[in-house]
Amino acid sequence: MKFFVDTADTAEIADLAATGLLDGVTTNPTLIAKAGRDFLEVTAEICKLTDGPVSAEVVALDHAGMLREAEILRKIADNVCIKVPLTIDGLKTCKALTGEGTMVNVTLCFSAAQALLAAKAGATFVSPFVGRHDDNGFDGMALIDDIRLIYDNYDYRTQILVASIRHGIHVLESARIGADVITAPPAVIKGLFRHVLTEKGIEGFLADWAKTGQSIG
């Protein structure tokens, strides 16, 4: 399973990229606003920090407007992935862009039927939002399970990119189901490293090492 980080904070991206675990980045207008920087400038910088896809979202709601914005965004770098909403105009744009060889991430997916439409439109990625689904009384991971089944039934190549991840259990369940990608905030990804027994083990080793009075190097 691929790991994308969901942020526009270039320092956080660089830190995770150094681990060798980062496969891509997703951004959205909210994250760009939090970064407080020029959209095109920060997107270009992010694209230099990873060889993987970098999702950059259009803000137009009509097909023609999306295409105009996509034309600007995909000139930033070869690894830009155009992010469009799961609407009729969004899927028209998806079909047009993927037909030209551009990666497209269809976002704001909340049903398996929507995911089916995205796959038929040729989406590179579809982004079901599990956290928001849970917040509204639905089972986010059951949605991922349904999409996986449908895509496997028809051998769709669209990758399931699990988004709106809130905690490590979402990551674990995504892997169990067989999602292709997860995208999570830096804090959630870094939280996967932590375990109380790992921390206790390090403390014990360091205490025992101190007793030896030795140093390395």
| 83 catalytic residue (yes or no) | yes
Catalytic option among 83, 120, 190, 211: 83
Please state, in angstroms and as integers, the Cα–Cα distance from residue 209 to each residue in 94, 188, 205, 215, following that order.
Answer: 58, 32, 6, 9
Token output for 196:
């109380």
Distance separating alpha carbons of residues 29 and 89, to the nearest angstrom: 19
Q: What is the dihedral of CA 164, 166, 167, 171, to 10 degrees?
A: -10
Can you tell me which residue has the tokens 């023609």?
64
Which residues are designated catalytic? 83
